[in-house]
Structure 1
Amino acid sequence: MKTHKLLSIFLLLVAIGTSAQPRFKQKKEQIRALKVAYITDELQLTSDEATKFWPLYYAFDDKQRELKQDKMRSYMNRFESGEVEKMSDKEALNFLNQMESTEDELYQLRKKFIANLKVVLSPIKIIKLKKAEEGFNIKLLKQYRDKGLQRP
């Protein structure tokens, strides 16, 4: 009987997880489309600029997301598990060096991205890109907060 209940619960969780994945992916694609429209509008990209810009941006964004998800998530897991409190100074120094290395990788990735953009966009549009990204993120967070507050 216990195994039957556990199996039922497991199947229910798998079903919920499986049905949530398409919605999550759809939401992610919707946000990406909104971001493309927002940035294109904010930078006033010409069709020629957009054709060259977006493949560079997507490659950068995907690599940045991959770095953050893979490495930063493992760091956060160590924080949340309480592992940090049990580290020796030597282990903590090694962990700190790993964190610095990841931050450096992110910095070098952005630096390379900007160098690639200099061939495609004017310097002012590259600067406006940073502002547009931050503006989009603020707008997205505000919508999320407003939507969350409306729930009963």
Structure 2
Amino acid sequence: MNNFVKYIIVTLLIVAGAKAYSQPPASFRNSKGNFSPYKKIETARENYIDRQLDLSDDESVKFWPLYRQYSQEITSVRKLKRQNMLNNRSKDQIDKDLLYDQQLVDIKRKYTQEFSKILPQAKVNLVFRSESEFRDELIKIYRERGTPD
């Protein structure tokens, strides 16, 4: 009987949680009221990494602000790199591209050290592996069903 009560409680919690997430928060909407796919992807990435790392509460409190800072730095350099690729008339495009690649490596080195202060080395390695696995999974999903509207 005790297991049955636990089963009912867990089921009710799952249903209540699903109901709470039935409508995405307003922060997921862009200025036109549509859902922002970028924020949905970022949230999915964080959820995926969180499941992979299985962080303790203490690790989680310290890790996520640092990870978001890392992600923001990586995103800004990648954006500059994309803009550089569009400017293909520049003589120093290759040099700039290599500079951006080096900046990406430097950021990863810096945050590897920062993550190591918070997490065991196995979890630090798993951070970057999980990012890669998430990206591969996302590409696979988009290929199978196309990009969302």
Q: 1:76 aligns to what?
A: 85
Instruction: List structure 1 segments (4+ residues) > 3 angstroms apart after TM superposition.
Output: none
> What amino acid does structure 1 have at the position aligned with 2:125?
I
Q: 2:130 aligns to what?
A: 132
TM-score by length of 2: 0.71
Q: Which whole-Å CA distance do the structure 2 matches of 1:103 and 1:29 have between them? A: 25
Say which of 39, 46, 49 aligns to 2:49. Answer: 39
Q: In the TM superposition, what is the alpha-carbon distance from 1:74 to its structure 2 partner?
A: 2.3
Q: In the TM superposition, what is the alpha-carbon distance from 1:60 to its structure 2 partner?
A: 0.7
* Secondary structure of 1:23's aligned partner: coil
Q: In the TM superposition, what is the alpha-carbon distance from 1:24 to its structure 2 partner?
A: 5.4
| Alignment root-mean-square deviation, CA | 2.3
2:109 aligned with 1:111, yes or no? yes
Q: 1:142 aligns to what?
A: 140
Structure (1 or 2) with the larger CA radius of gyration: 1
Q: Which whole-Å CA distance do the structure 2 matches of 1:59 and 1:43 have between them? A: 18
Higher relative contact order (CA 8 A, sep 6+): 1
Further displaced range: 30-39 or 104-113: 30-39
Q: Which whole-Å CA distance do the structure 2 matches of 1:138 and 1:48 have between them? A: 29
Q: Which whole-Å CA distance do the structure 2 matches of 1:64 and 1:23 have between them? A: 26
Segments of 5+ residues of structure 2 without an aligned counterpart are 1-30
> For 1:11-43, what per-residue CA distance to the aligned partner results, in whole angstroms no more than 9, with x for missing partners?
xxxxxxx64xx5352x22222222111111111
Taking the TM superposition and a 5 Å limit, the aligned residue runs for 1:11-90 are 19=32, 22-23=33-34, 25=36, 27-69=37-79, 71-79=80-88, 83=89
Segments of 5+ residues of structure 1 without an aligned counterpart are 1-17, 85-90
TM-score by length of 1: 0.69
**Aligned residues: percent identity?**
23
